[in-house]
């Protein structure tokens, strides 16, 4: 018999007779660290056999946002307090449902208010309104560049209580009309060289500007016209007037007009590079030397107010007339 075969027979014999001096290890009953050991008083518990029970486990789904709306919140007295930098969310659940948020602003300054709906697949077509506690200053927005979700970046002139009102602009409602909303402080979106004068509301009071000067102003009312004047030398002059507003968060939908030194309308524009861009770009030319005039107003039927701000950039280039 070979050595290897002998060794196998000896091992088998040993297993049949058993090892009277050895204890058999049971991985269930003899492992104190096994949580399934029913004889271990510390299994599934704290130290020394303490049950470690901390109460029922909350299995409810997490809230959809930091500050879910609570109905009823559809009037001034029931407006919900919304801290800055906090996402609120809700749904336009009934016909003409309006959800109001109360904002306590620490300082005057620039603020961004943004409603999300279509951005994440909601069927809501939202409208956003911002107003102070006296309702003397307000602004509305229904969309933003590239989206039907409204966004405003506006210079709120006072600290304290302001209100935001959210609703569907076409009176849509239902469980598929969800929204999300946030307000936070913002940086000044644009730069400018000067501000509009207080008394530039007529051609005779037009505010003089330099070539390439950028002026900050607002269209306070439906009759507000902000006039500017500039001196043009003899020759063929190309004019380029651009308004920056809506594309940077202003609710203003503007309209620009250019007048000759003879006070005749030369050209006007209420759109930018596309038919859906409400920031007007005006380009045209003329040959008259002297004082030219331009003014900006709101487009017909568009909103106005202290928060309907703009920056207008007026430039021109004069070349000698060909003989």
3-state secondary structure 60-126: CCCCCCCEECCCCCCCHHHCEECCCCCCEEEECCCCCCCEEEEEEECCCEEEEEEEECHHHCCCCCE
Would strands 214-218 and 194-195 be described as parallel, antiparallel, or unpaired? parallel
For the purposes of burial, counting CB atoms within 10 Å of the CB of 226, is it exposed (0-12), middle (13-18) or buried (19 or more)?
Answer: buried
* CA pair distance 208, 122, nearest whole angstrom: 48
Residue 72, pLDDT score: 84
- Burial class (CB within 10 angstroms; exposed 0-12, middle 13-18, buried 19+) of 25: exposed
pLDDT of residue 73: 83
Give the number of residues written for the chain: 323
The predicted structure's pLDDT at residue 53 = 52
Alpha-carbon distance of 51 to 42, in angstroms, equals 8
pTM confidence score: 0.80
pLDDT in tens, the chain (323 residues): 444 443 444 334 434 344 433 333 343 344 444 444 434 444 444 444 444 555 566 556 677 899 999 888 888 888 999 999 999 999 999 999 999 999 999 999 999 999 999 999 999 999 999 999 999 999 999 999 999 999 999 999 999 999 999 999 999 999 999 999 999 999 999 999 999 999 999 999 999 999 999 999 999 999 999 999 999 999 999 999 999 999 999 999 999 999 999 999 999 999 999 989 999 999 999 999 999 999 999 999 999 999 999 999 999 999 998 76
Q: What per-residue confidence (pLDDT) applies to 77?
A: 84
Q: What is the pLDDT of residue 4?
A: 42
Tell which residue, 196, 193, 191, 154, has the closest CA to residue 309: 154
Ordered structural domains, the chain, with CATH = 3-49 (no CATH), 67-185 (2.60.120.380), 194-319 (2.60.120.380)
């Amino acid at each position: 018999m070979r050595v290897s075969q002998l060794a196998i027979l000896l091992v088998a014999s040993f297993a049949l007779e058993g090892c009277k001096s050895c204890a058999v290890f049971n991985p269930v009953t003899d492992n104190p660290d096994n949580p399934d050991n029913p004889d271990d008083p510390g299994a599934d518990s704290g130290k020394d056999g303490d049950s470690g029970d901390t109460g029922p486990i909350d299995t409810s789904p997490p809230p959809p946002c930091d500050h879910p709306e609570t109905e009823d919140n559809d009037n001034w007295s029931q407006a919900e307090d919304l801290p800055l930098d906090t996402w609120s969310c809700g749904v336009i659940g009934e016909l003409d449902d309006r959800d109001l948020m109360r904002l306590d602003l620490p300082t005057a300054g620039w603020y961004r208010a943004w409603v999300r709906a279509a951005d994440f697949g909601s069927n809501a077509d939202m409208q956003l309104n911002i107003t102070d506690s006296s309702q003397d200053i307000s602004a509305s927005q229904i969309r933003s560049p590239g989206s039907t979700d409204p966004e405003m970046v506006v210079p709120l002139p006072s600290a304290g209580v302001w209100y935001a009102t959210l609703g569907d602009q076409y009176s849509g409602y239902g469980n598929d009309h969800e929204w999300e909303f946030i307000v936070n402080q913002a940086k000044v979106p644009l730069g400018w060289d000067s501000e509009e004068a207080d008394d530039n509301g007529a051609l005779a009071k037009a505010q003089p500007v330099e070539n390439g000067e950028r002026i900050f102003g607002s269209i306070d009312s439906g009759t507000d016209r902000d006039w500017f004047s500039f001196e043009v030398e003899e020759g063929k002059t190309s004019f380029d007037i651009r308004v920056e507003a809506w594309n940077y968060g202003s609710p203003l939908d503007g309209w620009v007009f250019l007048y000759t030194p003879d006070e005749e309308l030369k050209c006007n524009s209420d759109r930018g590079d596309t038919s859906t861009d409400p920031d007007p770009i005006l380009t045209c030319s003329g040959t008259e030397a002297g004082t030219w005039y331009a003014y900006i107003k709101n487009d017909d039927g568009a909103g106005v107010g202290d928060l309907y701000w703009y920056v207008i950039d007026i430039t021109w280039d004069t070349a000698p007339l060909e003989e």
